Structure 1
């Protein structure tokens, strides 16, 4: 199973902290380093000093500051960037990283964040997501000597030049969520990975089953779609230190134990085994305290215990 560190810079993470987390992620042997794509918290506030950062700008810098770890977003809202521009940006960062980039793409949800920056936030955004996926993948697969055009309800491209190709065959696309029908169908059509998170194991199992059915309906081998889970990590060397971390973050230990990664490294390793049994092939370990590098060491220990 693959293990990736996942951070939320909108909680007040400075560039120096982001860099330190990414480099520690690589040093400790994790598979990937992923970040959210947000500018503010849902209420536009920060838990620490404001530290506004743009996901793809910082990932470009991290591509140059790391050598091995996979890099990407969970997830980029389609409302933030025109899909034609996004295709170029992501392909650029993929080249900078020598093919280590992955794109999580979603419909977006944080309305106040959009209002703060004057970014349009239509009530119905799923069509934007569908067309964005078609455009991004279309541009990436267009040869350098050809052009790509698209006519949709939301976007129109007129003979955009090809050649915006990723280093490898493609940039893996991650699609996730809890939608019962349209989300699994989009994952089956476009994604390398389906992600769900922050829910109990029975819900994870239900969502994995739905997306497996969708891939079969689409005529695709379910084994070709990686299944992943994102969970908040609240880990301590002892049960008492884990509780202290939960208390400091205002999180309920009972809720974290049921819906996240909570406890000692041995407890977390046991949860990893349960997720593997559900079919998860990758886990995103969400670390909310942007100053707490020690948790990465504890999570690396959990990974070693999981084997």
Structure 2
């Protein structure tokens, strides 16, 4: 008997979201990745500084991890320049997305053109199509702007915000509304998981959705201020950003005793054999498939 098809939304950025999407790629177009667009470091930051626009790095990373058919196109998309000139460190995929964005009406059109070229069926949607930066208010009331500066704070911020306040992408909101499962994490908590949750439309969609919401834990302690936050605090931040809606399940390598009975916890071996801090695609896929059986 065929298993029912589920619509899945994964929210986050960088390597963590890419890992989840690659674990779910067998579900094809039933999966939507809602990608953080606030990065201001590295190649992405340099492009934003001179061209403006949203941050492309996390989107490029997700697409890279979803490529199943190596080709000249995929090699070009993944190429990073080296040398002493202005191109040093730039990823060609970031430049391609920037160019296509300039030629398109919407950033989402640029992403879809790349998806078609690289035969990626999973939907990739930026959290917003309008440029914004992540900002944090410290315990002293000082406001720090920029994702890279937030990551360098000596302690967790009192709160996070987006500057300016921008609208969420309507396709992201619709995907959450229609989802059977929403996945938060893994990844950098403050700079990858949280930014999409700061958008009011995504906040409301997560509060109202009938989907089961799960949180996938990191396998190692984060560097930076998020590394000082307990799992319980992270979950509270997420739930507050979802208008008080609770997280249904936490997937991780062990039981966190501090959570008590507040959240259902599922323990699974998720670590890659080569890198204990990296989630193994197959193990992650198997764990999520088991959770889907309860949706």
Q: TM-score, normalised by structure 2?
A: 0.37
| Structure holding more strand per residue | 1
TM-score in terms of structure 1 length:
0.36
